[in-house]
Structure 1
Amino acid sequence: METYMKITSIKTYVVPPRWLFVKVQTDEGIVGWGEGVLEGHAETMAAKFSELEDFLIGTDPLRIEDTWQKLYRNGCYRGGPVLMSAISGIDIALWDIKGKFLNQPIYSLLGGPVRDKVRSYCWIGGDRPSGLVKSVKEMQVKGYDAVKFNICSELQIVDSYKKIDGIVKQLDELRTAVGVDMDLAFDFHGRVHEPMAKVLLHELEYLRPIFVEDAVVSAQVDAMVNLSRSTSIPLTIGERLHSRYDFKQVFEKRAASVINPDTVHVGGISEMVRIGNWAEAYDVALAPHCPLGPIALAACLQVDAICYNAFIQEQSIGIHYNQGGDLNDYVMPDSKFEIENGFLPIPNGPGLGINIDEAAIEKLAKVGHKWRAPVWRHEDGSIAEW
């Protein structure tokens, strides 16, 4: 089979605040950019990309699906967060190359767009929710009409109603302050176990959240099924699932009304589109997870452009993790992400549609990062879910 060009090198950049970018170079001079970090494990991912060079150098970057299958099926082990995040970074970069080679945005190569922009929400609060009313009002001024936040800190598998009442009181005050003009997404972040999740969903239903994310940890799909049947709140799962095979039981068991796979963790644009289209067959909505960098967001927006059931897009502008770097620090002025009346425009340039500031990446890669998730403990000394 004729080869148009060859991959000549793969280079990774660990950059603040907690990201890893990957640059795929070709012998035709076309460069593709991907993002393939696993939060808290950037050094591991850099090593994994180095290993993948053995399978990629000298191959045709335009054969994206063949490359995806080769990386996924090679050897005995497949799936999981490390391998799928690495595949994601390569897949995104290859789509970027193909779009640039053909002078088309990625969405044009996948059937063309069904929308020109997508609604977006902003993160507020921190790991432990605080200052929610003030933060929401600030987001309203900036044009947002939807926000997401953690609803609690540490919560035992069976906890006190005093703590439950405190959570409800804080969220009730928020809803009272902002009225119905702001949609609220509640993130349980997998730190709530099923006994308390059932109680919380019942107590919070009257506040009418747009969805509840990770009501329990993603491994508890059967618990999600039970919770979905007991509440009218749309439940969301997906950021910790890593391929279409992980989503199979979610769809078949009707465990969620919304899925939020992460383009950087689930196998890239190729796998996101497959999962998004599959979800549509079950009338499940798509809300791509993306508290990450500009390449990840650009990849999500290409998916949003072509998946009919995509309805809202997460992004990390100003998120509490972004100390020492933010989305727009790594793109050229003509590619900066800006919210327009609560929507993100779909980039329409070739490939991912954004121009990367390589000089900024090179400079900040010298700073790097060693971001780690915090260690939380309950009052009895046992480890708590973060």
Structure 2
Amino acid sequence: MIQSVGKMFLILILNLIIFICGEIPQINSQSINNTDNNLFNTPTKNRTPMHKILFTQRGYIQFLRWQLPVPEINEFTFCLWIKSTNLTYPHSIFSYSKNEKDRLVRAWIASNGQSIHLEINNIEIFNQPTSIQVNQWYHICQSWDNERGRYGLWIDGQNILDDYAPQMAGHVIQNDGDIVLGQEYTDFDKGLEEGIEGAALGFNLLLASSFDSTRNSFEQNNQLINNEPMTFMSGIDLPEFIPRHITKSIGPALFPQTYPLSYRYARKSLPSSRGGIKSVSKDDVDLIKIRNKRQTPIVSMLNLNINSRDKFNYSIPLGLRLIEMGFYHCEIGRGSPFIGGKRLLISWTRTPVKIFGGAILKNTNNKCGVFN
């Protein structure tokens, strides 16, 4: 009798709880797994979309212009995703000029996609043969440092070119110029021929090179000597705990040793026989049509001691981080990774920009190299 009364009392209490709180959900291992997966994979429909810019160069000269104070430049790395629909004319992928006449930095893809160029102060830094095709996305990065005049070119995560221009050692690029994407800002009198026809996404300009340098080592050593917190992706202090869902997004950007095998090519030049530093024959040009299979390994932080500094590699140059993150993890920051702090002079998503000539800003997905 006492037991039956006890059972009735428990049932009454349970019904009261259900009445007050609502239906009790059925919890099983499947629902737990689904909840855990949701931490990693936010539904696409809830994500803020990425944006690409569409250029036609029809009717009006179309370009993007960033109006901001530009300091003197001793080193830089810039990256962008680009897809051409017409390579009849050269495509300007970075123009930095002053007074609409003085060319300070100029980078472009030559007509028919046959080469990629960089000029600084009207001096040719490199002219690298390539085989850029229409209607294909490419991730293109260039880097330069005035410490020894070193420069480099990366296409789709691979280091195509790494060399020195001794005559540019010590050269300082002037401040307070105009930064433009899509047109050569000093060539308006030439009409509409030179300019991007197609789409671009993820243009970021970082005032740091992709190479090891004494200035970068000095900055890092000062942080260690003064026991200051290191800034991974420089500009974001590493917190005491990083949630798993953030870790998955960042992944190899924080822990380069976990990169897939293919990442190593981002840090090595191709042999000269395959289009590397010295020369490229016409027969070798096709080898520069790079199409890596992207891999995004997950880094587990569950058992990681954040205070163990020896677990991290501090020596990766900022510019190289921009290159690798932009190619392997283009979705971070919707095309603009959170690195460099103030040294990230232009962020694709966070720096105000003016659109000229009727170029169209359009939503796109975050699948790297697809961007439908």
- Please confirm whether the aligned pair reaches a TM-score higher than 0.5, indicating the same fold: no
Instruction: Give the TM-score taking structure 1 as reference length.
Output: 0.26
Larger Rg: 2
- The structure with the greater share of residues assigned to helix is 1
Instruction: Give the TM-score taking structure 2 as reference length.
Output: 0.27
- The structure with the greater share of residues assigned to strand is 2
| Greater relative contact order (Cα < 8 A, sep 6+) | 2
